[in-house]
Amino acid sequence: MDLNQMLNMGIQSSMPEAKTVASVSDDQTSASEKGSSKAPVGIHVDLSPLGLQKSKKADRDKDIDESDLPDSVKQSIKAIRDKQEELEKKQQELQQLMSNSSMPPEEKQEKVEALQAEVSSLSRGLVDSKNNLVSSMQDQGLTEQQIQTAMALMN
């Protein structure tokens, strides 16, 4: 019994409900398949919103991953980018709120103050993260070139 026959028997025994089983052969495509213009079969995958977000983030951080920086520095720069992104979103939210004229003034003032506090907190956190990264890079003895690379990747 050759390999093809063994594979066919294995397929048949694992799929008893199938009426016909394709056989494995060494032939190239049959004459009828050669003339057909069937499109190749592919797989379509829909990503969840979280999956799409992670994919975009991976693309966003590709330059960091490809740099010659230590992993701890790479992770810190990615965290800084996340904080920058969050800060930008809050600033946009604050601008939209301030331009909203349909909201009662007292309610608007409360929300503006809350968002301003968030923006201020995020800004302080971002500055602290950048300062900690610079100190960490100096402690790790990074070269001047690596420090310049890290600074460029942060902005």
Number of domains observed in the structure of the chain: 1
Asked if residue 28 is part of any domain, the answer here is no
Q: How confident is the model at residue 48 (pLDDT cuts 50, 70, 90)?
A: confident
- The pLDDT assigned to 12 comes to 52
Q: Please give the average per-residue pLDDT across 89-101, as a whole number.
A: 94
Asked if the structure places residue 108 within a domain, the reply is yes
Whether residue 24 is predicted with pLDDT greater than 60 in this model: the reply is no
Closest by alpha carbon to 150, among 130, 123, 122, 127? 130
Average pLDDT over residues 135-140: 93
List the domain range (segments joined by +) for residue 88.
Answer: 60-154
| Over residues 68-81, mean pLDDT | 96
Task: Examine residue 88 and state whether it is found in any structural domain, yes or no.
Answer: yes
Residues 6+ apart with CB under 8 A from 149: 67, 68, 69
pLDDT band at 52 (very low <50, low <70, confident <90, very high): low
52 lies in a domain?
Answer: no
